[in-house]
Amino acid sequence: MKTALLEEGVLAIRDLPTPEPGHEQARIRIRSAGVCHSDLHIVRGDWAFVPRSGVVGHEAIGVVEALGPGAERFVSVGDRVILGLGGTGGGYWCGACEYCLSGSPRHCAQTQGIMGTFAEEFCVWAKSLVVLPDAVGDEEAPLACGGLTAYGAVKKLLKHGVLPGRKVAVVGAAGGLGHYAVQLASAFGYDVIGIDLGEERLRFIESLGAHRALDANDAQTVIEQEYGGVDASLVFSARIAGFELGLRCLRRGGLFVAVGLPATSEGNLQINPFEFFFKDPTLVYSAVGNVQDMRELVDLAAAGRVKSHIGRQGALSDLPAIFDELESGKYVGRAVITDLTR
Using one digit for the tens of pLDDT, what is the confidence trace for 229-280? 999 999 999 899 999 999 999 999 999 999 998 989 999 999 999 999 999 9
Q: Are residues 270 and 292 in the same domain?
A: no
Q: Are residues 117 and 243 in the same domain?
A: no
Q: Are residues 155 and 246 in the same domain?
A: yes
Predicted confidence at residue 206, as pLDDT, reads 97
Query: Residue 86 belongs to a domain with what CATH number?
Result: 3.90.180.10
Region 73-98: what's the mean pLDDT?
91
Predicted confidence at residue 231, as pLDDT, reads 98
**Cα–Cα nearest to 335, from 323, 184, 170:** 323
Where does the pLDDT of residue 8 fall: very low under 50, low under 70, confident under 90, or very high at 90 and above? confident
Residue 86 has pLDDT above 80, yes or no: no
pTM over 0.85: yes
Range with the poorest average pLDDT among 20-34, 43-57, 124-138, 310-324: 43-57
Number of domains in the chain: 2
Task: Express each pLDDT in 23-41 by its tens digit.
Answer: 999 999 999 999 998 888 8
- Termini Cα distance of the chain: 10
3-state helix, strand and coil shares in percent for the chain, rounded to the nearest 5: 35, 25, 40
Q: Are residues 56 and 127 in the same domain?
A: yes
Q: Which of 285, 305, 321 represents a domain boundary (last residue)?
A: 285
Q: Are residues 22 and 130 in the same domain?
A: yes
Q: Are residues 238 and 329 in the same domain?
A: no
Residue 89 has pLDDT above 80, yes or no: no
What residue type is assigned to position 32 of the chain?
S
Q: Are residues 157 and 230 in the same domain?
A: yes
Distances (CA, A) of 240 to 43, 152, 165: 20, 21, 28
Spatial distance between the Cα atoms of 51 and 48, rounded to a whole number of angstroms: 8
Q: Which of 242, 270, 285 represents a domain boundary (last residue)?
A: 285
Q: Are residues 118 and 215 in the same domain?
A: no
- Domain range for 103: 2-145+288-339
Q: Which of 248, 267, 285 represents a domain boundary (last residue)?
A: 285
Predicted confidence at residue 49, as pLDDT, reads 81
Q: Cβ(44)–Cβ(25) under 8 Å?
A: no
Predicted confidence at residue 37, as pLDDT, reads 87
Predicted confidence at residue 317, as pLDDT, reads 94
Query: Residue 216 belongs to a domain with what CATH number?
Result: 3.40.50.720
Q: What is the mean pLDDT of the chain?
A: 95
Cβ count near 271 (within 10 Å): 15
Spatial distance between the Cα atoms of 63 and 68, rounded to a whole number of angstroms: 15
What residue type is assigned to position 203 of the chain?
R
